[in-house]
Amino acid sequence: MIDFYGYGTANGHKVALMLEETGLPYRFHYVDMAKGAHQTADFLKVNPIGKIPAIVDNDGPGGKPLSVFETQVIAQYLAEKSGKLMPKDLAARTVAAEWATHITANLAPAFSAQFYITSRLKGENPTALEYYVGQIHRCIRPIEARLGEMPYMLGGECSYVDVLLYPMMSVSGARLANGGLDPYPNVRGWMAKMGERPGIQKGMALIPPMR
């Protein structure tokens, strides 16, 4: 059994989707970040960095409990453990890691900065906001081009890369001003296809929205 600790952010949804898509048994624990639950002594034993999401696999390698944090690492671990959503050959796995890292290291921070400026600073730093919105579009353009060539990020089948990307587009992308994702028809078509998957639907419904 996997204990999953999450909150209603895009990163929290990513792990919920991975668990539903892989079919691994889990228990969900809501970590109310608005009340500081991610900084408690008990949670810091799960993730010493004090961030969500995090998991504890009570039947980890060798039958021993294993705590895992960082969204991309959790996604890769769950794919490896389940044997689902992970390419088999080295070349495809390397391509998967490239795109997963792009989503995690480039797109996600740009979305986070845009959210902080618009929601916390009330848009009071227009120069920074313009920069980060520009970075978001810079990150999405190659994804749009790739999805114009293939139905999913790695080709003909859904992978953990698609699962990592979906909440970014559906949650964070919805907050983009000036048309949002309108300039990206391939992304929007891919989103519609992903949104029909039962695992995606259940995972997105698992965590209450941020308050």
Are 79 and 179 contained in the same domain? no
- Residue 13, domain extent: 2-85
**How many domains does one find in the chain?**
2
pLDDT in tens, 150-207: 999 999 999 999 999 999 999 888 778 777 899 999 999 999 999 999 999 999 999 9
Rounded to whole angstroms, the Cα distance separating 109 from 7 reads 17
Are 47 and 147 contained in the same domain? no
Domain boundary among 85, 117, 152: 85
Predicted local confidence at residue 107, as pLDDT? 96
Predicted local confidence at residue 123, as pLDDT? 66
Cβ distance 31 to 52 under 8 Å? yes
Per-residue H/E/C for 108-120: HHHHHHHHHHHHH
CA torsion sign for 185, 106, 46, 93 is positive
Domain boundary among 85, 104, 135: 85
Are 77 and 114 contained in the same domain? no
Are 99 and 191 contained in the same domain? yes
Say what the pTM is: 0.94
211 within domain boundaries:
no
Are 168 and 189 contained in the same domain? yes
Which residues, given as ranges, of the chain have pLDDT below 70? 123, 210-211
206 within domain boundaries:
no
Q: Give me the CATH number covering residue 189.
A: 1.20.1050.10
Predicted local confidence at residue 125, as pLDDT? 79
Are 10 and 35 contained in the same domain? yes
Are 104 and 75 contained in the same domain? no
Predicted local confidence at residue 52, as pLDDT? 96
Are 40 and 106 contained in the same domain? no
Domain boundary among 61, 85, 109: 85
Beta strands in the chain (DSSP E): 2-6, 26-30, 54-57, 66-69
Are 137 and 60 contained in the same domain? no
Are 61 and 134 contained in the same domain? no
